[in-house]
Structure 1
Amino acid sequence: IDVSGRSDGNKYVERQADELCKLIYRLVQKKANPFNEKDIFVITPFKNVAQKLSKKLKVIDLGYGDQIKFTRYKDGKPTNIGTVHTFQGKE
């Protein structure tokens, strides 16, 4: 999936985040899909992008009536959104 858009100057592209919300929503809400929000992890190479995505994806609400509480936290840090280093246990 190629989503172009303008960066906020620090590698975060709002249009890409919006598309990610839609993709996660479709994956979780599709009745024939065996996945739920606990099966999905978001990995980005940039720490600042991970921070912004954790806020954006905290609750995904596309206006269809069903909200997805996506971002999970432990000790104040997101556990399902982060950088490669985060998931490798180096942070």
Structure 2
Amino acid sequence: MSGTTHHRSSHDTAPPSDVTDTLLWRLAYDVAEAHQPDAAGRCQNLLCGGRQAPCDPLLNAERAMRLARGDAGAAAPAPAPRPRPAAPARPEHPRTGREAA
């Protein structure tokens, strides 16, 4: 295990009093801090490659911070399940005319 420690900006900030999931809030806070837009309005994080802000990681971090505060309205509705493709019909046995096993 590495002897180095990482300082995260969430360590310097107290979570709001209504946070119910401190770990989620701190992780989301750190992601949000790392994906702030620059003066040109682009994400300054190298992983985003200069995409226009807000980038997906920032949007997801903001949503996670709301969820960590118990904001059930922040949760997106579950996507509708995709219909399953029909199972292919089994071929008939050439001699008996029954389905092959």
**TM-score, normalized by length of structure 1?**
0.32
Q: Whose relative contact order is higher, 1 or 2, with alpha carbons under 8 Å and at least 6 apart?
A: 1
Bigger radius of gyration among the two? 2
Whichever structure has more strand as a proportion of its residues is 1
